[in-house]
Structure 1
Amino acid sequence: MAAAHPAASAPAVPAAPPRLGEGRSYSARIGAEVAGSFLLFFGALGIGMFNPQGSFGVPFGFGFAVIAGMLAFGYISGGQFNPAITLGSALAGRTAWKSVLPYVLAQLVGMSLAAVVLWVIIGSHPAGAQSESVFASIANGYASGDELGFSMAGVFLAETIATGLLVAVYLGATSSRDRLRSAPYAVGLAFAVLTAVMLPISNAGLNPARSTAAVYFAGPSAVSELWLFWVAPLLGAVIAGLLYRSAEMVPKARNAADDGGAPVASAAAPVEGATAVRESGSRGDVPNTAVQDQPDAPVPADDQGAAEARDFFDRKPNRPRPESD
């Protein structure tokens, strides 16, 4: 029998991008998104309802709510709490496409429940009959009619850019294990700053689920303008997700060229070590003796951060770093 060829001659296969929440049950991940979304709406917009005089209350409320939610639930679901972030993360290869719709529905449910709770609380007040005006004060809109009203085009552009920046910050902050501990603070600070900028323009949408939950009790005018606060944020998320994925592919292509044209694994089909080879060996495609002696393919240093990020969300022990020459 011929001796098996050493596996060292096999081309290195880069690790797949981290799949946020991978390894957790669907019920746990959906529950985490519901809870985090509830916290975000109840905490931040509750401040806007009950303390309308504070100009920085709502931005800081959003920022701190995002930080708390990501610290509490990020290791379960990725701590997205926003359909735009979920879409951008899927386009960047960081969230499985099969999880997009369940995540978005969970975010809508969490924020809708928070809106109902706030409506009940407001109704218990002697002035509760004015709940429609209270919800209208936190609903998103454009061209309000006063001298400070922004046009539909201006609001669309602002929401697209601001949400794209938010998605980019999230993707960058959660891209490697070295950044994960500070990710909630980076995303929360970005949310606070962008909310402060967007409040006088559109009442700070940035999140289609937040915009939807705010219109249930806000009157017909807010409902008629809701479409913009889905289309613009999702467009910004698409731009950010595709740009991030393109930027991530550049070093991988360069590494493949440096390795003599070694193939790069698709992000949608992660390959872990020699697992695929072992499976083919069990089917008789290759000799079992070669398969048993073949170690896992080395992970290039450039992709070590992505592997560590995946391990963080899966709660797996740290993988040893490959020794450099």
Structure 2
Amino acid sequence: MNPEPISAGGARAAGPAARTESRKPLHNFGLPGRSVAEGAGSFLLVFATAVAVFSGTGGISSPLGVGLAAAAAMVAFGYVSGGHFNPVISLGSAAAGRTSWKALPVYVAAQLIGGLLAYLILWVLFQGHPELTDTRQIFSVLANGYGTDYQLGFPLASALLAEVVATALLVAVFLGAAARRIPAVSAAFAVGVTYAVLLSILAPITGGSLNPARSTAAAVFAGGEALEQLWLFWAAPVLGALIAGLIYRSIDLSISDAPAADEAPAADEASDDEADEDGDSPAGDAVEEAKAQHPSGTAAQTAGASAAGPNEISRESDDDARGFFAGDDDGDDDGGRPGTVRH
């Protein structure tokens, strides 16, 4: 955003040309439009995850491919919906007070539909190959799991702990990146790198879930044991997301309750204490002295400053603070700023 023009006396000039057009608030897209964006982003992320797993050693590594897909989806659709594309990120955002609870089930449904559609397209592709007879076995490679028959044979307790901790870290990075005044591409890069690192750690343990929408789609098409173990890949990520979301909510509450460092005494009390016997205050004397020194332009500058006063500055601050992935609610967009809590 371009700064407002400054007058000769230092006051901000008022007028419609002083502010450029702000980025469109997310709630203006409407819940249906944001849900479509969440479904499209989830489709891209889940489809890219499956393709990255099948790529093996012939291309980029699977975790890196997923991280790049997550960053691409956030850049492509994040300005519409907030860039979740994962039920646990939506849940963590709601727990942190960044997303309305009424939008949460719609987001989750859209993400599940996007993930299922991605696997459906893969199933159609595999069905068309003459040499692939057992597609269910192929999808079992993409499914998450635990126990002696899966990957390195980590038990249930290890799989649960790993998924809870990893999901909490992913949601924490997302909430931190989305709440700060950093470029959208930088936020997407941070989340994508986190995806890649965490999936590299989880791959030999559970296959790397972090996303119940992807786990559900894989389990539906794999069937069998994958469906029986699916509960873990909802319970663990949900628990991790709630932990991260509640921590961020407590931080936001502490920021909103803390008094401003430069908070001054009430204006009425200061003026009553400092007024002289004739009813003139030091502030009034300062204004009169300024008028005497600068007789021309003082009135115009004063009028301009008052016209552009608290409301104008507040609106400009809101526009500057509104980030790429911030404030994805209906009608009560808060810009995702710390200290703003939605009830």
Which amino acid is 1:252 matched to? S
Letter paired with 1:296:
N
Residue 179 and residue 93 in structure 1: after superposition, are their counterparts in 2 closer, same or farther (change >3 A)?
A: farther
- 2:6 corresponds to: none
What is the aligned length? 266
**Contact 2:151 2:206 (8 Å CA) reproduced:** no
2:172 is matched with which residue?
168
Change (3 A) 1:225 1:304: same
User: Which of 251-260 and 65-74 deviates more?
Assistant: 251-260
Residue 57 of structure 1: how far off its partner (Å): 2.2
Query: Matched residues in 1 for 2:115 and 2:248: separation?
Result: 28
Residue 31 of structure 2 is matched in structure 1 by: 26
Q: Normalization by structure 2: what TM-score?
A: 0.70
How do residues 230-309 of structure 1 correspond to structure 2 at under 5 angstroms? Answer: 230-255=234-259, 259=263, 296=311, 307-309=321-323
Q: Which amino acid aligns with 2:220?
A: Y
Bigger CA radius of gyration: 2
Matched, 1:120 2:120: no
Are positions 1:195 and 2:195 aligned together?
no
CA distance in 1, matches of 2:236, 2:38: 22
Q: Distance in 1 between matches of 2:167 and 2:261?
A: 35
Cα distance in structure 2, aligned partners of 1:83 and 1:311: 16
Q: Alignment partner of 1:177: what SS?
A: coil
Following TM superposition, by how much is the alpha carbon of 1:296 offset from its aligned partner in structure 2, in angstroms?
3.2
The whole-number CA distance in structure 2 between the counterparts of 1:311 and 1:223 is 33
Give the 3-state SS of the residue equivalent to 2:149 in structure 1. coil
Residue 32 of structure 2 is aligned to residue 65 of structure 1: no
> Does structure 1 residue 40 correspond to structure 2 residue 55?
no
1:82 and 2:96 matched: no
Which portions of structure 1, spanning 4 or more consecutive aligned residues, are displaced by more than 6 angstroms?
A: 303-306, 310-314
Partner of 1:4: none
RMSD of aligned C-alpha atoms?
3.2
Specify whether residues 300 and 72 from structure 1 end up closer, same or farther in structure 2 by C-alpha distance, changes over 3 A only: closer
Amino acid aligned to 1:26: L
Measured after TM superposition, the shift of residue 213 of structure 1 is 0.4
State whether residues 175 and 305 of structure 1, in contact with CA within 8 Å, keep that contact through their aligned partners in structure 2.
no
* Shift in CA distance, 256/310, structure 1 to aligned 2, threshold 3 Å: farther
Give the counterpart letter for 1:161 in structure 2.
V
Secondary structure of 2:322 counterpart = helix
Give the letter for the 1:149 counterpart: G
2:103 aligned with 1:99: yes
Gaps of 5+ in 2: 1-24, 267-306, 329-334, 336-343
Relative to structure 1, the CA distance from residue 310 to residue 252 in structure 2 (aligned partners, 3 Å threshold; closer, same or farther) is farther
Note the alpha carbon deviations across 1:245-265, whole angstroms, 9 max, x for none: 112222322226874899xxx
Contact 1:75 1:313 in 2 (8 A): no
Separation (CA, whole Å) in 2 of partners of 1:119 and 1:310: 34
Determine the C-alpha separation between the residues in 2 that align with 1:130 and 1:41. 21
Distance of 2:100 and 2:150 partners within structure 1: 44
> Secondary structure of 2:97's match?
coil
Counterpart contact for 1:177–1:305, Cα < 8 Å: no
1:227 maps onto 2:231 in alignment: yes
- Cα distance in 2 for residues equivalent to 1:311 and 1:108: 20
Structure 1: unaligned runs, 5 residues or longer: 1-19, 263-291, 320-325
Shift of 1:93: 1.2
Report the 3-state secondary structure (helix = DSSP H, G, I; strand = E; otherwise coil) of the residue aligned with 1:255. coil
Q: What amino acid does structure 2 have at the position aligned with 1:42?
A: F
Which SS does the other structure have where 1:296 is aligned?
helix
| Structure 2 residue identity aligned to 1:155 | A
Residue matched to 1:141: 145
* One-letter code aligned to 2:111: Q
Kept in 2: contact 1:22–1:310 (CA 8 A): no
Q: Which amino acid aligns with 1:37?
A: S
1:78-107 C-alpha deviation (Å, 9 max, x unpaired) = 110000000000111111111100000000
1:71 Cα shift?
A: 0.5
Cα distance between partner residues in 2 of 1:298 and 1:252: 19
Taking a change above 3 Å as real, the CA distance of residues 313 and 250 of structure 1, as seen in their structure-2 partners, is closer
Distance 1:300 1:259, change over 3 A: farther
